[in-house]
Amino acid sequence: MVTWSNHIVKMYEYGLAEDKRDAAEAAAAEFVDYLRDVAKQRANSPGEDIVSDLLRSELTEDELVATAVLLLMAGHEATVNVIGNGVNALLTHRDQWERLVASPDLLDPCVEELIRFDAPLQLFERTATTDVEIAGFRVAEGEKIGALLGAAARDPKVFDRPDTLDIGRTPNAHLGFGMGIHYCVGAPLARVEIAAALSSLASKLPGLELAETPERRPEFVIRGLRSLRVTTA
């Protein structure tokens, strides 16, 4: 499932090579087939899982499958990258890692700061459904605009010392989970997952260090590391 998700989200990127687009389409088709089977099984024998819950709603089969795909993909991609980007940021700003190890009460602001400091999702688009003016700019019906979340996260008008990693930063009005009606439905889960990962690492492996400089994946929209090799002192 992770492999399907990793292939599918490449669709969000610009200038996607044909082989990657084909792999994304093939993965999407396999994922949908798999979920249709799961939906059939759960219809016959419901369990305590999200597909069974969705079946109890009034969604059509297509809507149910699309919702399950969205939840599973959104749930897989960004959180993993916050943990990778975030641990990298902490270990390359050793004072902040040591601050976290010494003060577990900084866990919650630390999660927010890691999402802000190295944003896992860089771009979301909107298409104007009517002519509109936003902040003095006219956007005609049908035109697209892109919100650059990584740039917003370093806006000096919003953040004091925006390029500084400060795990105690409060307030921290980042837009990492979006805003308005499409605000991330998984934000509470993501916060718990990231906090649990950081808490385990900081309490069990306080001597954690990078074993090598990690390599970033080349994609722009979904920003993350190819791998993060670590060692303990």
Nearest to 34 by CA among 81, 2, 78: 2
Nearest to 149 by CA among 191, 177, 114: 177
Cα(175)–Cα(34) distance, integer angstroms: 33
Nearer to ligand HEM, 153 or 208 (CB): 153
Q: Are strands 132-134 and 208-210 parallel, antiparallel or unpaired?
A: unpaired
Give the per-residue contact string, 119-138, with ligand HEM (x = CB under 6 A; - = no): -xx--x--------------
34-63 binders of ligand HEM (CB under 6 A)? none
Nearer to ligand HEM, 190 or 208 (CB): 190
Under rule CB under 6 A, residue 87 binds ligand HEM: no
DSSP 16: -
The residue number whose beta carbon is nearest to ligand HEM equals 186
Nearer to ligand HEM, 38 or 206 (CB): 38
Determine the interface stretch with ligand HEM among 13-21, 96-104, 129-137, 171-179 (rule: CB under 6 A).
171-179
- Binding residue (CB under 6 A) for ligand HEM from 13, 91, 107, 178: 178
Q: Within 45-136, where are the H helices?
A: 50-55, 61-92, 94-102, 107-117
Determine the interface stretch with ligand HEM among 25-33, 57-65, 68-76, 91-99 (rule: CB under 6 A).
68-76
Under rule CB under 6 A, residue 2 binds ligand HEM: no
Q: Are strands 144-148 and 123-127 parallel, antiparallel or unpaired?
A: antiparallel
Nearer to ligand HEM, 63 or 209 (CB): 63
What are the backbone dihedrals phi and psi of residue 162, each rounded to the nearest 5 degrees, phi first?
Answer: -60, -25
Under rule CB under 6 A, residue 79 binds ligand HEM: yes
Under rule CB under 6 A, residue 214 binds ligand HEM: no
Q: Which two tokens stand for residue 151?
A: 């740039």
Residues touching ligand HEM, count (CB under 6 A) = 20
DSSP character string of 127-168: E-SS-EEETTEEE-TT-EEEEEHHHHTT-TTTSSSTTS--TT
Q: What is the contact surface with ligand HEM in residues (CB under 6 A)? A: 70-71, 74-75, 78-79, 82, 115, 120-121, 124, 176-178, 182, 184-186, 189-190
